[in-house]
Structure 1
Amino acid sequence: MKKLMYLGLLALPTQADVLWSDFSLSYLNGSHYEVGDTDREVATFEYVTGTSWGGMFMFIDRLHSDNGDKETYGEFSPKFTLLEFDQSSWVKSISAAATIEIGEDFTHYLYGVGAGFKPVGFNYLNVDLYRRNNDSGKDNWQTTITWAVPFEVASSEWLFDGFLDWSSAIGEQGTAASMNWTSQLKWNLAPYVGLKSPLYIGMEYVFWNNKYGIQGVDERNANLLLKWHF
């Protein structure tokens, strides 16, 4: 039977305790981008932390296209635990969730609720439902799913992780419903090069229907991936 452990927002401490954190740097190289130049390199900085309040994830992308175009994009996503369940429950927690998306000429605000799950074999599985407050245009809805599944092949460490974003259509301005399923399959090289923290090499694959809500613009994009956690 599920047992409610606490109602987080009624017992927030004045200062969050950091329970764990992780930094990473990634490099991507792909040749099948849609909207703009097809060939791009992307450098990404990521930071994620778990706290006594909930947690936070952020990343900053720096994109360089072969035609000389450059772009910076980032997201900041805090979560605040509302409900936490005991070890017997398949639901880990319920949280208030938010995301800020910052691009070259826009800032979008997303707010909603998220659920964390703990299926066997997963490091994590999260589902968030947001209302999107768009900088220029009508608001819409977004669902975000994130996951990570570690596994071994011949004693080598592998990780399959990623996210799926689905955004609803905005009929008044001709924006189509969009689905971005981006996944990474990567092998940990760290044990073979004397590193304690993970160093991954692998592939990122982007399966994006109606990119940026543009009807009929579908991206199928494989990227070479190198990612170092520190």
Structure 2
Amino acid sequence: MPFRYLVMTLLCCSCSGYAEVLWQDFRLTYLNGSHYRLGDPQRQVLTIEHAAATAWGDSFFFLDHMKSANGQHSNYAELQPRFSLGKNGWQQAPGGLIKDVLLASHIEMSSQRTNLLYGVGLDLAMPGLKFTQLNFYRRNNEQIADNWQATLVWGAPFQFGGQSFLYDGFVDWASGSVDQHANLNWTSQLKWLASNLWQGKSQVWLGVEYVWWRHKFGVLDKPLLRSHENNVNLLLKWHF
């Protein structure tokens, strides 16, 4: 059985079986930026997110609804379930740096294409970080040649001046192929917990998101087609 089918079979069996939710978080984010590449440079993005840890592993889902200044609308979504070998008795946690080993999957969905990624994930114990994940994928691309991807995800809470802040984000590196150039996307958010001012039960964060993307979507950056993106977005995030 090809590895990608084994990953998807295990994940489907886990979701249909005993799936106690250990914690979950719903988030709504508004972004506004004016330096996007490959398309209208000015856009507003409304993002719906759901993250959860369960008895079988964890999952993350988001849907971006984008509105450009020229009036165009588009949607893009990703679903990222991971099956924990440690939680399910297949692999004892190695300890030290590696907290858990997981079978990782990732589905990218848009009106143009659907891509399936499959591979191996690691939960890492890093000092000062709330969470750190490192995933290695084989990309099954629907319309272009397959390639490889590595993804690092982190969250670093900190205090400054008696206020709570969070610096989190991800780094995606995708290899090149006959159809695309290797590309690197570093997207991070620096946020201040504004809801502490009114002691709100729901967290409200204010901050900025910065995107540093080389050869966006695997498109080679050229003088007549700029795909290197340096984009700062104003950010408002509500956890509910």
Q: Normalising to structure 1: TM-score of the pair?
A: 0.91
2:50 is aligned, of 47, 56, 68, to: 47
CA distance in structure 2 between the aligned counterparts of 1:127 and 1:120, rounded to whole angstroms: 15
Deviation digits for residues 195-216 of structure 1, max 9, x if unmatched? 1222100000000000010111
* 2-structure distance, mates of 1:91, 1:22: 24
Mapped partners of 2:93, 2:185: distance in 1:
33
CA distance in 1, matches of 2:236, 2:41: 20
Given the superposition, is the C-alpha separation of residues 111 and 205 from structure 1 closer, same or farther in structure 2, using an over 3 Å criterion? same
Correspondent of 2:236 among 218, 226, 229: 226
Gaps of 5+ in 1: 1-8
Identity of aligned residues (%): 43
**1:124 pairs with one of 111, 126, 131:** 131
> Which sits farther off after the overlay, 111-120 or 190-199?
190-199
Question: Among 167, 174, 183, which residue is 1:178 paired with?
Answer: 183
Which AA in structure 2 matches 1:209? Answer: R
Q: Which residue of 1 aligns with 2:195?
A: 190
Higher strand share: 1
Moved over 2 A (4+): 83-90
Correspondence 1:164 to 2:171: yes
Kindly report the root-mean-square deviation, in angstroms, between the aligned alpha carbons of the 2 structures.
1.5
Question: May I ask how many residue pairs the two structures share in their alignment?
Answer: 218
2:72 pairs with 1:69: yes
Q: Is the 8 A contact 2:93 2:100 kept in 1?
A: no
Partner Cα separation in structure 1 for residue 150 and residue 97 of structure 2: 20
- Whether the aligned pair in 2 keeps the contact of 1:16 and 1:51 (CA below 8 Å) is yes
The CA distance in 2 between the partners of 1:114 and 1:206, in whole Å, is 24
TM, length-normalised to structure 2: 0.88
Match of 2:117 in 1: 110
2:193 corresponds to 1:200: no
